[in-house]
Amino acid sequence: MGRKLLVCLVLATGALSGCKPLYGGKPEKLRAPERKKKPPEPPEEIVAVKYVDDCVADFRGDPAKARPQPGIANQLVGEGETALQSSTKAKDPAGQAELIKVSIDKFRNALTKDPYNHDATLQLAVAYDLVYRKGCAIVMLKRLASLEANPKYAKGAKLAIDRVTDNNQWFKGYRKDAIAAIGR
């Protein structure tokens, strides 16, 4: 009987001790941290882009010597457009610059193969705009306007000029000058 009483006492003690909180009383409530005011933002500095207004490239070769090769020119334009589009996706500034340089070379070579190619002329103007060569971009846009004046090349040149007026992100820093250069 003594054993039964001892077992009951142990069980009763265990049951009573199991109802108590394990680590003490109620936990203290957490306080929300104080909200700090955001520091005032510094005023935005407007970075003035310095465009190169002069253009030392000669775009006026002797038209009598020109033997248009539109097939080769169109292939070079396609390669140049691919390089130009890849430059916008490149994360490294040096890689972007290299791709833009490659596209400029492709467009210039396309104009060598076909001096009257309106796509090469337009894309070369856009590429020059990306490297802040305002003078050369304006010369290329004027060249588009002169191609539009020629009845043989007017249709393609008009389409290229319409692309300039439709794309407001092109020639942002000197948009009015660019529109004036294409005769609009």
Q: Which residue has the higher pLDDT, 27 or 19?
A: 27
Structure tokens belonging to residue 50: 């310095």
Candidates 169, 175, 168; CA nearest to 137 is: 175
CB 115 within 8 A of CB 69: no
Q: Which residue has the higher pLDDT, 11 or 174?
A: 174
Candidates 169, 151, 71, 59; CA nearest to 112 is: 59
Alpha helices in the chain (DSSP H): 2-18, 70-89, 93-113, 118-130, 134-149, 154-166, 175-181
Which sign, positive or negative, has the C-alpha torsion 119, 121, 123, 126?
negative
pLDDT of residue 44: 75
pLDDT, tens digit (0-9, with 9 covering 90-100), for 30-63: 888 888 888 888 777 766 667 777 777 665 555 5
pTM over 0.75: no
Among 2-6, 44-48, 96-100, 130-134, name the one with the lowest average pLDDT: 44-48
Report d(CA 153, CA 65) in Å as an integer. Answer: 18
Task: Domain ranges for the chain, please list them.
Answer: 67-181
pLDDT at position 100 over 70: yes
pLDDT, tens digit (0-9, with 9 covering 90-100), for 147-162: 888 888 889 889 988 9
Find the mean pLDDT for residues 97-108: 89
pLDDT of residue 18: 55
Q: Is 173 helix (H, G, I), strand (E, B) or coil?
A: helix
- What would the CATH number be for the domain defined by 67-181? 1.25.40.10
What's at 72, amino acid-wise? I
